[in-house]
Amino acid sequence: MDNPDISNPNQPNRVAILDLGTNTFHLLIADISSGGPEVVYQDTIAVKLGEGGISRCDISKEAFERGLKAIRAFKEAIDHHQVTRVKSAATSAIRSASNGADFIEKIKSETGLNLEIIDGEREAELIYIGVRAAVNLEQMSLIVDIGGGSVEFILCDKNRIVWKRSFEVGV
């Protein structure tokens, strides 16, 4: 994730973060300052992107439309809150679907949002960063993230990831 320029207190630093998972899409909008992030808005929409097609490595027509509808709603919130930067992570269902790139391209053509498909290794790193921010990892720990399309295992402590692995199996 890019680091915002917090040296200019008059510069708007409103960031939107999109997490496009197999079952749910999440939007978090926050103001970033030297005092840390302040959440402005957040939303979660159950899109069930894997429903009807994940076993065929495909996003079904119905799931494709549910995903687009969710992103359109998120785009309205992003515009309403005058976001200056958007970061995203499209995960398992989108990265493994034969039409995942088509889904991302359709989002870009309809909304102007340029969303990033991340691999399982990057997903594991982001999970570690999030857990480390919320949990005291004083000793060696195993983080297990069971998602809709993948499961990530991260062996770590508060300073580093020792080992990480993503498996394209989920719930």
Taking only the tens of pLDDT, the chain with its 171 residues reads: 344 444 445 556 999 999 999 999 999 999 998 888 899 999 999 999 988 767 788 999 999 999 999 999 999 999 999 999 999 999 999 999 999 999 999 999 999 999 999 999 999 999 999 999 999 999 999 999 999 889 999 999 999 999 999 998 866
**Same domain assignment for residues 127 and 49:** no
Q: Which of 93, 111, 129 is the last residue of a domain?
A: 111
pLDDT at 2: 43
DSSP string, 56-80: GT---HHHHHHHHHHHHHHHHHHHH
Domain CATH number, residue 61: 3.30.420.40
The answer as to whether 3 is a domain residue is no
The answer as to whether 48 is a domain residue is yes
pLDDT at 54: 72
State whether residue 95 is helix, strand or coil.
Answer: helix
pLDDT at 3: 42
Give me the number of domains the chain comprises.
2
d(C-alpha 12, C-alpha 156), whole Å: 35
pLDDT at 6: 42
Distances in Å between the alpha carbon of 81 and those of 16, 57, 170? 9, 35, 34
d(C-alpha 110, C-alpha 89), whole Å: 18
**Same domain assignment for residues 101 and 130:** no
